[in-house]
Every structure is written in structure tokens, then in C-alpha cells.
Amino acid sequence: AQKFSGGIGSKLCGGLKRRASLPPDLLPALDGDVKTLSFLQEVVDILLSYVVESFDRSTKVIDFHYPNELLQRNNWELSDQPETLDEILLSCRATLKYAIKTGTPLPAPQPGPEPQPGSEPHLSPGRFTYEVAPVFVLLEYVTLKKMREIIGWQDGRGDGIFSPGGAISNMYAMLLARFKMFPEVKEKGMCSVPRLAAFTSEHSHFSIKKGAAALGIGTESVICIKADERGKMIPSDLEKRILEAKQKGFVPFFVSATAGTTVYGAFDPLIAIADICKKYNIWMHVDGAWGGSLLMSRKHRWKLNGVERANSMTWNPHKMMAVPLQCSALLVREEGLMQSCNQMHAVYLFQQDKHYDLSYDTGDKALQCGRHVDIFKLWLMWRAKGTIGFEAQIDKCLELSEYLYNKIKDREGYQMVFDGKPQHTNVCFWYLPPGVRYMEDKVERMKRLHKVAPVIKARMMEYGTTMVSYQPQGDKVNFFRMVISNPAATFEDIDFLIEEIERLGQDL
């Protein structure tokens, strides 16, 4: 079977037959209700019997197997092709079979929630050790490796973790970069370290500054690099600012390039940035919280060319891959670094005299202690869709946004915020109601235009028909930012959006 992974993805473009990623009669298909509900009901039935079984004192608390053995007992791998719905049900059963029965009334590791209103009738283990979450530890292992292969790191080597969101993933990256350069900071704190400088584009996500504030680096040490008119970091400005910072006595330690900025959906030029990071020996992080998922698309992954040279990458399946919140991965190229950076060796959690391979006790590399199980939904979706299913979904969203772009770029009353086809699904535009469109006084016109998007959005919310974000950016007054991440949308839905904007905004 052909592999779909890594930097070689592009070679395979013609090699794989596309097919629908999910049985075509499930929702969002028209009249997909019955099939969808009966499938979901089967899942529910599995969960309900699990609840009852957990409460039966003759049920084992754990069906224990050593890590290597458990890897063999079931096929946990992620592949290009989707599985059938029956196979998905089997995966659910296997997961429950080998997981700890945290609902058992028998003496067992906490937390042991009883099934009851408000508690999800499924598994709720903390995930710091293999013994309390054997299946989920393996699923994380399999999935992170797959994601690293897709980034293009050799044999999927490296490290990683699922964290509570992209902001925290970015903070992890900054923490690792600092530790890599100055390992003494862990014990001695920032007073043992020279003044640091981090670099990111002026269009980057606010979490880079938030992280710097939290880590004791300070927001003033985050130097904002100019972006071009499309929102991409300008590499020559990056180099200039690095040199300036060095001259002022700062030590540049971290560059965060953005793959898919929040507002414009821009992709920073990763190859040029990687060259600069290499030249000055700076940790290169790619914040692909929003745009990282384009790696799953053979058509669009070129936008992240160079990502394989990064030291770390944030990638949020809970955005473009439509996994329910929260599901964010930090991927790290160097093995072992997270562990040395974060481990505290708490003997009451990470006993060294256990009877299985302790490399599966992955908890001590996290900032968290117990962690929410974010992996299962991603893993199960991947099994259900296959890599090509995610690809189809992403390609569809980009196609929809291109449709929107083509529809409005020359349409009367619209103005694009930047020229050219959007690289991600962000379409940024102004709608100018007739009363604003022909105003002579430019200052007054901008003042009026600034108020248009907020009013239209407020009206949308009151009617409840649709919702679109808006914001200003730099010296640009409020504009709409339509972001498409649900592939169930149709061209007609886009048409409807335009009609709504005009219906709700024409009197402004």
C-alpha cells in the first residue's frame, strides 16, 4: 500500500484514488438522519453496556497487557483509507476493553466517577502513566508519530504532547527553546539567563506574547516583525531585528513563524525563516494552530514547505480538522527534551520500580498532572475518515472560500482587504452599503465603514441566521473575516451569506 506521509506527499498526488471519506448516506447527506442516528445509537449502546458492566463487581478493573503486547493485540494504526462503520464500532469496543474501568466501585486509581447526570458515560482517566491509561497512551504514541511523519521528520522521530489548546502548545515551545539554550533556567530561574529576545510577525497570535509574559520573559522581549501586505512575515526584517537585538545585548532564542495567521490566514515563508534561524542558531517554532492541518492536503501542503526544518510545531486538529475542542498537538523534533525540561520525578506518580516499560509513562513531560483525554476523538476520526478523508474535507473548505472570494472580489459594494486569492479559508472583506459607497469625504467614509460590520453582525445574531467575525487590523477599519471550517457548507450557503450581509446592511 502506498504511504501518505512526510515530505514525499507531493510525489503521490496522482497515486491514490479519491473516494468519499465517510459513508455518503450519513449526515450531512440529505436524508442522512436515519443512518446517522442508527450508527450513533450503536455507539451509545456500547457505552451504556459499558456503564452497566463497570458497575458489576465481577468485571475486571483492568485487562492488563504490557505495552508491546497491547500494541500487537489490536490494529491501532492510522492509515490513508477510511474504515467502515462496523470497524469503527470494533475500535470503540477494543478501546473500552483494554482501558481501565474508572467507574468501578472496586478500589482502583482515582478518579472513579460514577455514571450519573452530567458525567459522560465513558472513560475519564488521568493520563500521566501507562497503568492508568494504557490505551490512550498508545493512541497518543501512534498519532503523534503519524503527525511527525506528515511534517516530514525522518521515520516520524521526535516527541510531542497533546496540550489544552494552541496557546499552551506555543508556550511549551517557548519553554523548550529557552531550556535548550539555557538548561540552568529550570533550577535558577531567569536571573541566571541573559536578556532574551523572541521574534514573531506583527500578525501572529497573541498567545506568543501571553506566553512570554507568563514565562517571565516579558512582552517587551517579543519583537514584532513586519508583515507584507498579504500578512506574511518579511524575512529581511526578521534578520534586521535579530541583529539589532544582538547589538543591544539581547540573546535571540526563539522565532515563531505562523502557518495560517488568525486574521488573514497567511503563511509565513518558512524556508527563508529556517535559513535565518540556522544562521543565528535560534529555535524555530511554527505556529500552525490554524494552518497546520493543510499538511493533510497534497494540494495545499506546499504552503508549509520548510516546516520540516522547524524545531517545534503547534498543530490543532480541533480547528481545520473539525475535531471537537480541545485537541492541540505540540510536535518537537528533539527527543527527550520535553522530559528533561519539565520532569520533577514525583515518586508518588512516577515510581521507577514498576513492572512495565517506563518509557510509556509520559506524564512527567507535561506541565499538567492529569490530562483530559483529547486523543481518542482524533484517533477515531482518523480511523473513520482515513488521511484522505481529512484531505477531502480540507480541500472542500478551501474550495468554498475560493468560491466566496471569486464571488465578491469584483462585486459591487465589496472591497477585499488584501489582493489575491486567500491562502487559507480566511476571506477578509469590507461590505460598503450604498450610503457609504459613494461618500466623498474619505475620513468620514472610513468612520462610517468602521461601524458597518459590528451592526451587521449584531443583526445577524438577533436574527440568528448566521454569524461572521469582524475586526480592525492596524490602520484598517473593521472588516469581515469569513472563515470556513465546516466542509458540510455548500456554495448555496455562501450565496446565502452574501444575501444576508446585503439584506441586513443595505440601510447603513
| Cα 260 from Cα 264, distance rounded (Å) | 8
Least separation in angstroms between residue 180's CB and its own copies is: 14
Positive or negative: CA dihedral 116, 122, 128, 129: positive
| Cα 316 from Cα 312, distance rounded (Å) | 13
CB 457 within 8 A of CB 468: yes
CB 431 within 8 A of CB 337: no
Least separation in angstroms between residue 268's CB and its own copies is: 17
Q: Which is nearer to its own copies, 151 or 483 (CB)?
A: 483
| Cα 254 from Cα 132, distance rounded (Å) | 36
The reply on whether position 489 binds its own copies by CB under 8 A is: yes
The reply on whether position 505 binds its own copies by CB under 8 A is: no
Query: Of 490, 491, 503, 506, which one interacts with its own copies (CB under 8 A)?
Result: 490
| Structural element, H or E, at residue 171 | helix 166-181
Least separation in angstroms between residue 376's CB and its own copies is: 7
Query: Of 22, 135, 277, 331, which one interacts with its own copies (CB under 8 A)?
Result: 22
Applying CB under 8 A, the span of 215-223, 273-281, 330-338, 439-447 interacting with its own copies comes to: 215-223
Chain CA centroid to CA 197, Å: 26
The reply on whether position 48 binds its own copies by CB under 8 A is: yes
CB 343 within 8 A of CB 364: yes
The reply on whether position 369 binds its own copies by CB under 8 A is: yes
Residue type, 154: Q
Query: Of 46, 90, 94, 213, which one interacts with its own copies (CB under 8 A)?
Result: 213
The reply on whether position 370 binds its own copies by CB under 8 A is: yes
Q: Which is nearer to its own copies, 63 or 228 (CB)?
A: 63
Q: Which is nearer to its own copies, 136 or 153 (CB)?
A: 136
CB 294 within 8 A of CB 257: no
The reply on whether position 191 binds its own copies by CB under 8 A is: yes
The reply on whether position 255 binds its own copies by CB under 8 A is: no
| Cα 505 from Cα 456, distance rounded (Å) | 6
| Cα 348 from Cα 83, distance rounded (Å) | 41
The reply on whether position 39 binds its own copies by CB under 8 A is: yes
Least separation in angstroms between residue 322's CB and its own copies is: 4
SS (H, E, C) 424-448: CCEEEEEECCHHHHCCCCHHHHHHH
Least separation in angstroms between residue 467's CB and its own copies is: 5
Q: Per CB under 8 A, which of residues 421..450 are in contact with its own copies?
A: none
Cis peptide before 247 (omega within 30 of 0): no
Question: How is the beta sheet containing 312-315 ordered, strand by strand?
Answer: 159-163, 328-332, 312-315, 283-288, 251-258, 196-201, 222-225
Cis peptide before 351 (omega within 30 of 0): no
Q: How many residues of this chain bind its own copies (CB under 8 A)?
A: 152
Least separation in angstroms between residue 310's CB and its own copies is: 21
CB 420 within 8 A of CB 469: no
Applying CB under 8 A, the span of 150-158, 186-194, 241-249, 331-339 interacting with its own copies comes to: 186-194
Q: Per CB under 8 A, which of residues 119..178 are in contact with its own copies?
A: 119-121, 124-126, 131, 164-168, 171, 175, 178
The reply on whether position 491 binds its own copies by CB under 8 A is: no
Applying CB under 8 A, the span of 3-11, 275-283, 362-370, 405-413 interacting with its own copies comes to: 362-370
Question: How is the beta sheet containing 469-473 ordered, strand by strand?
Answer: 414-416, 426-431, 476-483, 469-473
Q: Per CB under 8 A, which of residues 218..237 are in contact with its own copies?
A: 218-221
Partners of 162 in the β-ladder: 329
x/- track of binding to its own copies for residues 321-360 (CB under 8 A):
-xxxxx--------------xx-xxxxxx-x-xxx-----
